[in-house]
Structure 1
């Protein structure tokens, strides 16, 4: 079982950061990649559900809950730094059970999505109520990263809707808000309208990590991007063996 101090350590990494110095969280997909990132000096890690799914032979969103939690547990066991887990939409588990299963892995944080498998955005107030239940069950033991899916789900006004959702989620107890898919030019508006840390995803070929921080990002993650780059390298090796 994870100690509250581990979550406190991870939470503190999100605060008192200077512009241009966002918290960079590589996304390990297995124990071996987690060790590589820890050895490189990163202070914490954040698993990507799509990357873990690929490593287990599943499409994104198709990993059974038992296998996802088991994969997270192996990653946590392999390193000494805090690990946050992408646990998608919560797998239909009640908040208390969801928190218990997360803590059993040793993870100290989690991502929770606000859209369903069919791509429909959840009702924001219902989502906020559910996040509040997760927060109540977790207390201070989990750093809660509330994903906002307005940019990837075709919302009519993704910035305005993201701001509305973010305010509800922060009020519900989210430690950080993740407007996934937000382009660089949207980040300053999000920063000015959201209280607390903001997570951005850094796609290949976009701004530098420092530039994301200067735009207003508090925390930077990569989704399955690092796993896909690694598989690209494996593919090159395989081609060279033929």
Structure 2
């Protein structure tokens, strides 16, 4: 496979991203387009992560219906449009076999990302998770593709059991431990709601950094940090908030012919002023 050489800018962002994972706890929000990305950077967030669902909705598709070229174009737009590290929600690597995952990871790295995640979901309801052996080989292939670049891109291994109807904490820990041994730098089990499960996962995987997806809005950054969580993401949550407001206002117009929800919008100047002039 052809070696991809990282730029100095990308290498610096990779170093910064890795430093964020060394200690403490940080929030990595998930923009769905360049406008939301630049707004989040201006709020002071130190890194961003893409959201497969949020981006898919923004171009008129369902989650998991994106083509690889669409994903790569989106990642390139984010990386070129902001000056902070970007982590890619790279879904299942857009391939089943490890060789395909490796090739696609190399393409993702070429967009300028500082990190990416590979999940073990098959999107087949009859067998929703890859067999552990294959899942491990897929992580190992991603690790080798990353190492060939020399950029230091951070690899997150994801186990999707709690999202696909297989909420087995022990099995999730077993899988994530295997992914760490195969080369994952950060570990992630989206779908955990209970604080006790999150704490058990973090303790079992320590000292490796763990990402937690916010699915229980009652938990705070302070509480998650106290559990030992290193990274907090919101997935498609911010996009859902935006779509909720849009759908509510649009349905009011379509169904009742009234515009009350538009009266609750933020002032034009507030939104327009959140972007830098050209």
Offset at 1:34? 0.4
Which of 17, 20, 33 in structure 2 is aligned with 1:13?
Answer: 20
List alignment gaps of at least 5 residues for structure 2.
Answer: 1-5, 253-258, 264-278
Does the 8 Å CA contact 2:27/2:232 hold for their aligned counterparts? yes
Offset at 1:40? 0.3
RMSD between aligned residues = 1.8
Name the CA distance, whole Å, in 2 between partners of 1:30 and 1:130: 28
Superimposed CA distance per residue, residues 146-195 of structure 1 (whole angstroms, 9 cap, x where no aligned partner): 1111212232x611001101110000110111111012220111111103
Higher RCO by CA contacts (8 Å cutoff, separation 6 or greater) = 1
Between Structure 1 and Structure 2, how many residues are aligned?
Answer: 237
Q: Which range moves more in the overlay, 109-118 or 35-44?
A: 109-118
List alignment gaps of at least 5 residues for structure 1.
Answer: none
- Per the alignment, residue 159 of structure 1 pairs with 169
Offset at 1:27? 0.1
Offset at 1:236? 5.1
- Per the alignment, residue 67 of structure 2 pairs with 64
Does the 8 Å CA contact 1:28/1:45 hold for their aligned counterparts? yes
Name the CA distance, whole Å, in 1 between partners of 2:112 and 2:26: 21
* TM-score computed with the length of structure 2 as normaliser: 0.80
Does the 8 Å CA contact 2:210/2:229 hold for their aligned counterparts? yes
Which of 226, 229, 240 in structure 2 is aligned with 1:217?
Answer: 229
Instruction: Map 1:1-242 to 2 at 5 A.
Output: 1-2=6-7, 3-17=10-24, 22-92=25-95, 94-119=100-125, 120-139=128-147, 140-155=151-166, 158-183=168-193, 184-195=195-206, 196-203=208-215, 205-235=217-247, 238=250, 239=252, 240=259
Superimposed CA distance per residue, residues 94-137 of structure 1 (whole angstroms, 9 cap, x where no aligned partner): 23321221122111111111111214111122211221111111
* TM-score computed with the length of structure 1 as normaliser: 0.91
Does the 8 Å CA contact 2:156/2:186 hold for their aligned counterparts? yes
Does the 8 Å CA contact 1:125/1:168 hold for their aligned counterparts? no
SS in 2 for 1:181: coil
- Per the alignment, residue 269 of structure 2 pairs with none
Name the CA distance, whole Å, in 2 between partners of 1:154 and 1:95: 25
